[in-house]
């Protein structure tokens, strides 16, 4: 039996119309209705008719949670994963799929997370592509106002911090491209601490269950199933870095042979392909991808 990991993308993977072929699915209809009650707005309307709102953190994160969990639930009727992981927001979908929390509490968490992150200000994030890692590590070590927010692959990272600090680090590192990201704040950095503290007050009383499949977390890419461990890792996620490169390396170390990315786009399978070889990669972006 081929050991399979399911991985779930986060913000940046959203696409207009990403739910179109789910509209006739009874499960999806039920979830879209529940989501509108919880959110106070229509995921269908945003995804189909409002690309500007879809690109805003406030709406992006709940939309992705709803679409990816529906796809995962439909896929669970056909197969089951041996391991799950998600990139930033995607970790919430991974925890839901592992039965760590129920769907509605999960969406409420994502809603509040999106609100807090959308209201963050005063920070900057930038992606570095084909960079000198040694130079980057030195520059970050010498600047307390910038951190490695997303270690995505050997050739792509995201740094986060104050605008002055991020620009200073970029000037000190040899890189093919440095791209400022269109986000409201310095996500996955110490600058998110006030938002993280407020979010923790909401997260702490939420009931977490022991996972029915091991989860690789963003801040600790080692398999875990214990409810208290997974909750603590999620608490630390908003200010901690996303260690996706290490998650990718951990997949074959844990016997994984096949990786299925569930959600729009193919960002995570692309990052995994650039990080480790020998894995079979598949994308489930819509109902059309379920065969094969």
Hey, what are 144's tokens?
Answer: 């307390």
Q: Helix, strand, or coil here: 266?
A: coil
CA separation (Å) from 7 to 103, 160, 182?
17, 24, 24
- 88 has catalytic annotation: yes
**CB-side exposure of 231: number of CA atoms within 13 Å?**
19
Q: Helix, strand, or coil here: 86?
A: strand
Helices 103-118, 90-97: inter-axial angle, 10-degree rounding: 170
Selecting among 13, 160, 188, 217, the annotated active-site residue is 188
* Separation between Cα atoms, residue 95 and residue 83, nearest integer Å: 11
User: Residues 6 or more apart from 111 whose CB is under 8 A from it?
Assistant: 38, 39, 61, 62
Selecting among 88, 153, 189, 217, the annotated active-site residue is 88
- 184 has catalytic annotation: no
Backbone angles phi, psi at 48, to 5 degrees: -95, -35
Residues annotated as part of the active site: 88, 188
């Amino acid at each position: 039996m081929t050991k399979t990991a399911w991985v779930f993308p986060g913000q940046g993977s959203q696409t207009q119309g990403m739910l179109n072929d789910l509209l006739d699915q009874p499960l999806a209809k039920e979830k879209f209705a529940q989501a509108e009650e919880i959110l106070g707005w229509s995921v269908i309307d945003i995804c189909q008719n409002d690309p500007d709102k879809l690109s805003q953190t406030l709406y992006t994160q709940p939309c992705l949670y709803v679409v990816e969990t529906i796809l995962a639930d439909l896929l669970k009727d056909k197969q089951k994963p041996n391991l799950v992981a998600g990139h930033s927001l995607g970790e919430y979908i991974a925890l839901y799929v592992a039965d760590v929390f129920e769907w509605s509490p999960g969406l409420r968490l994502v809603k509040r997370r999106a609100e807090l992150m959308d209201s963050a200000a005063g920070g900057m994030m930038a992606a570095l592509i084909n960079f000198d890692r040694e130079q980057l590590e030195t520059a970050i070590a010498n600047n307390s106002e910038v951190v490695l927010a997303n270690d995505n692959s050997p050739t792509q990272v995201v740094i986060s911090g104050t605008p002055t600090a991020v620009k200073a680090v970029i000037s000190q590192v040899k890189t093919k491209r440095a791209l400022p990201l269109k986000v409201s704040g310095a996500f996955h950095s110490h600058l998110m601490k006030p938002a993280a503290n407020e979010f923790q007050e909401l997260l702490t009383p939420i009931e977490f269950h022991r996972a029915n499949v091991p989860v690789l977390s963003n801040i600790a890419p080692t398999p875990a199933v214990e409810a208290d461990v997974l909750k603590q890792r999620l608490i630390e996620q908003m200010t901690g870095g996303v260690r996706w490169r290490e998650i990718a390396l951990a997949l074959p170390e844990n016997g994984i042979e096949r990786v299925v990315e569930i959600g729009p786009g193919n960002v995570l399978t692309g990052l995994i392909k650039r990080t480790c070889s020998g894995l079979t990669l598949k994308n489930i972006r819509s109902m059309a991808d379920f065969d094969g």
